[in-house]
Amino acid sequence: MKKIRVLIIDDSASVRQTLTRVLEEDPEIEVIAAATDPFMAARKIREEIPDVITLDVEMPGMDGITFLRKLMAQKPIPVVMCSSLTEEGSETLMQALEAGAVDIILKPKIGAADHLAESAERIRNAVKAASKARLSNVRLPVLGDKVRPQAKLTADAVLPPPTGRAMAKTTEMVVCIGASTGGTEALREVLEALPANAPGIVIVQHMPEKFTAAFARRLNSLCEVEVKEAADGDAVLRGHVLIAPGDRHMLLERQGARYHVSVRTGPLVSRHRPSVDVLFRSAARAAGSNAMGIIMTGMGDDGARGMDEMRQAGAYTVAQDESSSVVFGMPKEAIARGGVARILPLDQLAREIMLAHSKF
């Protein structure tokens, strides 16, 4: 099997060493070079073109955003931004996504063994997803030992399966959306096209903590609907969008005829936290036929099982099509599992939401 060749760009020697070790613990990944700044990186790229670049934001000589813009204009290569966990950095990372980066990872930190294992798994998964990214759909303006993947938990780890009992119809429809690699800009396109009276929407986008708050603020500044990072107990209301906080699961719950979200910690589900499977299963349990589920661009199968559960509970389910997806992993798995009622391109998803709402 041809390995995924990675170029690391970071001015910190310890970060370069740690990232190299983390990535090369996976037999499918090879670090071909590490550069201290964009100028050295440019020379490395002339010698050998990598499949994926991990790029620091703050570096001497030229910052990561400037380098990213130059790279995407001259020789597009999938880029994963690597950042420290700061509020300021989260705002800058939004610019990186706008400039064409396909994903964000947090710099690995030395700490508890379980935290390190989760962090390393997320980094490797981000690089693998980036290697499969279709850039034409990215919108521009222990050493020596190979680690075993962590056990892949299902949503059973957070909440039990749906009961199968029919859900009483309410006067409100709720839309549940799941996305991963390529999803930040795809979600922007969908939400920007929605009117202020759109149905209540809850979203899981795979993204580190802190960055989901910045992402929500950015969307709120662009859209007619109100967008915020979800807090435990937030009501799901017409014209409002709730985005699951990074590193927390988000569940849809119902009290009488009203819906709210529960934000909680828990194990990784389908190797993610937040997990689309958790959100979709909770929607199957709490909303049934009152819900619409949409699964969008991303690698892996998070959401496929949950979407099937939503459809069996009576929900209307839609998948983004292959031609408009940056990575056609999650939609493909949901389709293969039988949980998808309709497949649509990205530019038709907002219209489909409002059409479904009009028929509710």
The residue from 83, 119, 180, 324 that is catalytic is 180
Is residue 180 part of the annotated active site? The answer reads yes
Nearest to 116 by CA among 95, 337, 124: 124
Nearest to 257 by CA among 324, 197, 171: 171
The residue from 83, 103, 119, 206 that is catalytic is 206
Is residue 206 part of the annotated active site? The answer reads yes
Q: Which amino acid, one-letter code, is at 25? A: E
Is residue 302 part of the annotated active site? The answer reads yes
The residue from 51, 277, 302, 321 that is catalytic is 302
Q: Show which residues are catalytic.
A: 180, 206, 302
